[in-house]
């Protein structure tokens, strides 16, 4: 007999709405409920580093070393191109909607100090000096660099030996880690209810009013860019855009409610493989890499924030400065913290480089959770769509899975 139990996606949607309503009704006194949300986030985050390491090592280790260069170049080109395009959209929306014009807000003092890091230092920082330290600090891009090299080593060993014991162990380890994440994800509705109740209860909606135009610009940008991405990718791989949008729905809801690319990673990988039809080899290489290298939402946010703050201070940007915003917004996304609040860290890198006061971060800090909802959707869905296009290029996109013609053993009970 078929169960009428609500799917996990619907449970999360209900929890999101209920949490916001309860938070608004009860107000600041609901603050202690945040501990439930914090526990949920920690339980998910505890597995993220090893999940990324295992997925990338297995994906690269399964490749022929000669294939990696070609595939890596293709992945990087898609990521950088789409990230830069998102930044350009952010600038365009900033000039059309003008969210910084007429603002009258006492910004107070920024809680995040300006970053004095140069671009060259940032690039050097991509490479780990101690992988254990990188794992402990959850420095994702350093973890990924090590994982690619380790996977490449296993790939070379695989050519020399038929039985690659280490790669087989890592493959089984990945299955175990994914099962841990699936168990924790059953708590998602409760955790998301607690987080949204805390946000709306303690921060309230009043903080949104002065910056409603900024959030509206983020919302419009997210919708416009998602429509563009879905139409482009569905045309590229020759599938129905409506069906593709439907298959992205669950990861979109998880991304929107948790505001974390790291927390959404397991859902993104699973849906890419089970619903869209991306091979495990491609999904487990592209999706973890995308989390650190393909931040479309963050890039759009940083560019829009620069234009908003320039308008707030009455500054005019030259064409050269606008190009600099696109470049900085794209580069600052590389390896930026992939948990809630990472947008403010990236702002601390970009604003001083554009000659804008670091104290300006306080202007957007109050609405960071809300803008993070839009950022994360673009970050997550963009990765999944790139993985689909690359899988199609590599003849590893299963159209029978996409078109629901193949029976699939469910990896997760919704």
Query: Contact 334/293 with Cβ under 8 angstroms?
Result: yes
Q: What is the pLDDT of residue 104?
A: 61
Max mean pLDDT among 47-61, 105-119, 202-216, 220-234 falls in 220-234
DSSP run (H or E) holding 350: helix 342-353
CA–CA distance from 163 to each of 53, 156, 160, 172, 405 (Å)?
Answer: 21, 12, 9, 15, 34
Say what the pTM is: 0.78
325 in a structural domain: yes
pLDDT digits (tens, 9 = 90+) for 14-48: 888 898 899 989 988 998 998 998 898 788 778 87
pLDDT digits (tens, 9 = 90+) for 298-330: 999 999 999 998 888 888 888 988 998 898 888
Q: How far apart are CA 380 and CA 290, in angstroms?
A: 8
2 in a structural domain: no
pLDDT for residue 94 is more than 80: yes
Q: What is the pLDDT of residue 342?
A: 63
For a pLDDT cut of 90, what percent of the chain falls above it?
Answer: 33
pLDDT digits (tens, 9 = 90+) for 323-370: 988 988 887 776 554 555 567 777 877 887 788 877 777 778 778 888
71 in a structural domain: yes
411 in a structural domain: no
pLDDT for residue 109 is more than 60: no
Query: Contact 317/310 with Cβ under 8 angstroms?
Result: yes
Its domain, for residue 135, covers 8-402
HSE toward the beta carbon, residue 243, CA cutoff 13 A:
14
413 in a structural domain: no
pLDDT digits (tens, 9 = 90+) for 55-86: 888 888 877 777 777 888 888 899 989 999 99
Strands, E assignment, 170-316: none
For a pLDDT cut of 70, what percent of the chain falls above it?
Answer: 89
Residue 119's pLDDT band (cuts 50, 70, 90):
low
109 in a structural domain: yes
For residue 117, give both structure tokens: 């890091």
Conformation bin of residue 104: beta by default, left when phi > 0, alpha when psi is -120 to 50: beta
Mean of the per-residue pLDDT values for the chain? 83
pLDDT for residue 187 is more than 50: yes
Q: How far apart are CA 101 and CA 174, in angstroms?
A: 50
Q: Where are the alpha helices (DSSP H) in 366-412?
A: 368-393, 399-402
DSSP assignment letter at 278: B
| Mean pLDDT within 232-258 | 93
Q: Please report, for the domain that includes residue 275, its CATH number.
A: 1.10.3860.10
110 in a structural domain: yes
Q: Is 305 exposed, middle or buried (0-12, 13-18, 19+ CB in 10 A)?
A: buried
Looking at the structure of the chain, the number of domains it has is 1
Taken as a whole, the chain contains a residue count of 414
| Mean pLDDT within 405-414 | 50
Q: What is the pLDDT of residue 11?
A: 85
Residue 92's pLDDT band (cuts 50, 70, 90):
very high
72 in a structural domain: yes
């Amino acid at each position: 007999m078929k169960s009428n139990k609500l799917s996990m996606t619907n449970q999360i949607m209900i929890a999101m709405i209920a949490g916001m309503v309860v938070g608004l009704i009860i107000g600041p006194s609901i603050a202690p409920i945040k501990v439930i949300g914090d526990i949920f986030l920690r339980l998910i985050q505890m597995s993220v580093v090893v999940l990324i390491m295992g997925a990338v090592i297995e994906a690269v280790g399964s490749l022929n070393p000669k294939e990696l260069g070609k595939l890596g170049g293709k992945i990087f080109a898609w990521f950088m191109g789409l990230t830069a395009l998102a930044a350009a959209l952010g600038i365009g929306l900033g000039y059309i909607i003008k969210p910084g014009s007429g603002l009258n807000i006492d910004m107070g003092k920024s809680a995040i100090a300006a970053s004095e890091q140069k671009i060259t230092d940032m690039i050097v920082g991509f490479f780990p000096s101690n992988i254990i330290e990188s794992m402990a600090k959850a420095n994702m891009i350093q973890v990924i660099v090590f994982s690619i090299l380790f996977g490449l080593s296993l790939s070379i060993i695989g050519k020399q030996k038929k039985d690659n014991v280490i790669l087989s162990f890592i493959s089984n380890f990945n299955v175990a880690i994914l099962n841990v994440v699936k168990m924790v994800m059953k708590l998602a509705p409760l955790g998301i209810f607690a987080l949204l109740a805390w946000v709306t209860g303690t921060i309230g909606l009043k903080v949104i009013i002065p910056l409603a135009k900024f959030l509206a610009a983020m919302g419009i940008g997210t919708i416009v860019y998602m429509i563009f991405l879905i139409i482009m990718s569905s045309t590229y791989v020759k599938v129905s855009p409506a069906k593709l949008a439907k298959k992205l729905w669950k990861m979109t809801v998880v991304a929107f409610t948790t505001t974390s690319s790291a927390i959404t990673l397991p859902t993104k990988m699973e849906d890419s493989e089970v619903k869209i039809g991306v091979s495990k080899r491609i999904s487990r290489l592209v999706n973890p890499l995308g989390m650190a290298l393909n931040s479309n939402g963050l890039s759009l946010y940083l560019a829009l924030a620069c234009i908003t703050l320039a308008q707030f201070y009455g500054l005019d940007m030259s064409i050269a400065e606008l190009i600099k915003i696109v470049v900085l917004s794209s580069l600052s996304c590389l390896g930026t913290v992939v948990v809630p609040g990472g947008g403010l860290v990236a702002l601390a890198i970009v604003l001083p480089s554009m000659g804008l006061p670091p104290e300006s971060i306080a202007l957007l800090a109050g609405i960071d959770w809300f803008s993070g909802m839009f950022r994360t959707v673009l970050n997550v869905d963009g990765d999944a769509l790139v993985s689909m296009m690359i899988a199609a290029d590599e003849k590893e996109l299963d159209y029978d899975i996409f078109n629901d013609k193949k029976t699939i053993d469910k990896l997760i009970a919704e």
